[in-house]
Amino acid sequence: MDTALVLFRRDLRLTDNPAWSAACTQHARVLPVFIHADDDAGSTGAASRWWLHHSLLALDHDLRDAGAALHLRRGEPLGTLRELIDRSGARTVYWNRLYEPAAIERDTRIKSALQADGVAVHSHNAALWCEPWQIATQQGQPYKVFTPYWRNLRAQLQATGPLPAPRVPGWRDLSGSLPLAALELLPRIAWADGLAASWQPGEAGAQELLEIFADDAIGDYAHARDLPARHGTSRLSPHLHFGEISPRQIHFELDLRARAADATRRPDIEPYLRELGWREFAHHLLYHFPHTPTDNFNPRFDDFPWASADQALLERWQRGRTGVPLVDAGMRELWHTGWMHNRVRMVVASFLTKNLRQHWQHGARWFRDTLVDADLANNTLGWQWVAGCGADAAPYFRVFNPVTQAKKFDPDGVYLRRWLPELAAAPAALLHEPWKDAALLQRSGYPPPMVDLGQSRQQALDAYGALAR
């Protein structure tokens, strides 16, 4: 019987999955496979590996409900694929594309090798609204500024319905599948309880979050998205990263709800779509400028006088012990849940790169290891944007003041008290600036600020200003 092998990667869903749908509709039997390459451990953080474990568990459950099962393997992808193709008799392989530079190089090599073996290979787009090479300026060049990029992309977007989960025609059972534990994705030390309490990885979890967001939060998104104490954002970023939901599904559902609402209460979904547009822009930049995960997008910043790497200083930032409440609350939220509110991400990144003048790479590495939504494209764009060296970056003189930001976006201190229990009883007048009362610091055990915010800001401006000249 005609068998197709479907290689799952970061497309861990059955609905709106073009590779899975094509295989199920065009072949008599399918073999769904996930291969964990040992060298992936170096590029995937601990929080992401935790998520991947539970997402694979959910995908296998969904496949079993559909009449199949996920075949798990560990090893070098090309050799493993050749073995599975030989044993299963599959003559066609399907996958959905990845866009990181190393993934593109690997997939190109695998596709050429399999085609030389006489195996047909079909790749699809399951992760983005548009492929990175489909959007260009009038001169045919990649965009470097978000606003014209988004204007071009938005004009092309339509809220088209997602592909339904296909019926499984037949399952090619094959011996040798590993137990999920053999992939060794879970941490050896049980530190992930906070992640488990905060998230439900998998397609069902993604759909549940989308429904909650569409029902309760989208109408106030433009305002509430900046308030870290509120659930004003979708929190779909890890589900998007692992392909448990697609941008097309989100767009279609939000548009459907908006059209069905009474005209006087119709939510404005454009601010949220624009944020999804930033995700597309990040992948556009990574595809066209593949050096940016390690190098400044703007080479002028290669001469910027970063402070020497200070491990003790970095550890205080990582653990939320800087003595600056909003920074510490964000870093503790990250450590406990694997996620951080986007407004706070900008603040903690600005504090590291400007007040502490530590290289943005230090922050990018920590985010990669601790975020459940760690994504090379988004992480690179975000850190270079804040540091001032990226495409369409914040101007160098923009230094987020964490006290001003906290007073504006967490005026009652709900977010701060949630993540800084030692300051939970602090008077409202001191919560945002506890260093103004030495007795409060002594009673609470909360540290004094590791730098003077005003002086460190000026030192950063002087360094950036010299570079600008």
C-alpha closest to that of 249 among 71, 6, 14, 4? 14
Question: Contact, 16 vs 40, CB < 8 A?
Answer: no
Question: Token pair 């045919």 is at which residue?
Answer: 140
Burial class, 41, CB count within 10 angstroms (exposed 0-12 / middle 13-18 / buried 19+):
middle
Question: Token pair 């601790």 is at which residue?
Answer: 370
User: Which residue among the candidates 125, 278, 433, 435 is catalytic per the annotation?
Assistant: 278
User: Which residue among the candidates 306, 422, 433, 435 is catalytic per the annotation?
Assistant: 306
317 is catalytic: no
Question: Contact, 329 vs 420, CB < 8 A?
Answer: yes
C-alpha closest to that of 93 among 164, 20, 25? 20
User: Which residue among the candidates 360, 366, 385, 419 is catalytic per the annotation?
Assistant: 360
433 is catalytic: no
296 is catalytic: no
360 is catalytic: yes
| Distance of alpha carbon 69 from alpha carbon 32, whole angstroms | 7
Question: Contact, 59 vs 202, CB < 8 A?
Answer: yes
| Distance of alpha carbon 450 from alpha carbon 462, whole angstroms | 20
User: Which residue among the candidates 131, 275, 422, 433 is catalytic per the annotation?
Assistant: 275
| Distance of alpha carbon 24 from alpha carbon 285, whole angstroms | 33
User: Which residue among the candidates 383, 385, 401, 419 is catalytic per the annotation?
Assistant: 383
C-alpha closest to that of 183 among 79, 69, 12, 53? 53
DSSP state of 117: T
Give the residue numbers annotated as catalytic, written as ranges: 275, 278, 306, 342, 360, 383
